Amino acid sequence: MVKQFAVLGLGQFGWAVTEELLREGCEVLVIDSDSDRISEIKSRVTTAVVAEATDRNTMLNFLREEIDCVVISLGPQIEASVLATFYAKEAGVQQIIVKANSRDHAQILELVGATQVVTPSESQARRVVTSLVRPNVVDYLPLADGFSVSEIRAPKAFVNSTLRQLDLRKKMRLDVIAIRHGANAPDESGELEVIPSPDRLIQDRDALLIIGRDTDIAKIKE
């Protein structure tokens, strides 16, 4: 099923998030008060709306609970981002990611319903989208020309097989450069085995650090 997203605010971060979501083949609703920005992107997204994020009626009309996630990026407009977050929560959206300008701003956003608060950058936009559309990805480091290093939870199909048996280099053009055991997130402690042996048995709760093309890494399913 194609995932549905809403992006509120088409500044640098919001635009980067939108581009990444479109690249991943997602359905995207965008809302911005700038008609020129909306005109520029409306032919590429599912729905494009010229509106203020502080307009409660518009927000509740378009932000339906079937939307998988809303990303709110409204620049320095602290009040607008707080209200938009509140309206998204009221609409029943389960995942609400909001760009914050300060620590205090982040705390307020969390209080009114933000499930994740981020700082703005294009690389952060890519990491956010990767975590949304590929839930098995623990962490992501973009490299040049469509390549990346991704930390991925070992799929069930990999468990109890060795790297030699999986033969990811031949079958998927991917290299496992390290294995982290006993950690489910990059900030958790876990034993890291760099350049693992081909006879290393993949275990439950292993995370694989894989280098390769994004398109090939995306083929690995949980």
pLDDT per residue as tens digits for the range 63-72? 988 899 999 9
Greater confidence, 85 or 177? 85
pLDDT at 178 (0 to 100): 84
Number of domains in the chain: 2
**If you average pLDDT over each of 32-36, 120-124, 214-218, which comes out highest?**
32-36
Average pLDDT over residues 82-105: 90
Average pLDDT over residues 100-126: 80
DSSP string of 160-208? T-BHHHH-HHHHHS-EEEEEEES-SSTTS--EEEES--TTPBP-TTEEE
pLDDT confidence band for 218 (50 / 70 / 90): confident
Tell me which residue range forms the domain holding 146: 136-217
Last residue within a domain, chosen from 79, 106, 132:
132
pLDDT at 104 (0 to 100): 85
Q: In sequence order, what are the beta bridge partners of 175?
A: 211
Least confident of 59-68, 84-93, 107-116, 123-132: 123-132
Same domain, 27 and 126: yes
Same domain, 78 and 18: yes
pLDDT confidence band for 151 (50 / 70 / 90): confident
Report whether pLDDT(5) > 80: yes
Q: Is 113 helix (H, G, I), strand (E, B) or coil?
A: coil
Distance, in Å, from the CA atom of 137 to the CA atom of 127, rounded to the nearest integer, reads 10
Same domain, 172 and 64: no
12-60: pLDDT as tens digits: 889 988 998 998 889 999 999 999 999 999 999 999 999 998 899 999 9
pLDDT confidence band for 107 (50 / 70 / 90): confident
pLDDT at 186 (0 to 100): 46
Report whether pLDDT(193) > 90: no
Same domain, 120 and 153: no
Residue pair 151/184 in contact (Cβ under 8 Å)? The answer is no
Report whether pLDDT(10) > 90: yes
pLDDT at 29 (0 to 100): 97
CATH of the domain at 50: 3.40.50.720
CATH of the domain at 172: 3.30.70.1450
pLDDT at 185 (0 to 100): 46
Q: How far, rounded to the nearest angstrom, does the alpha carbon of residue 20 sit from its chain's CA centroid?
A: 9
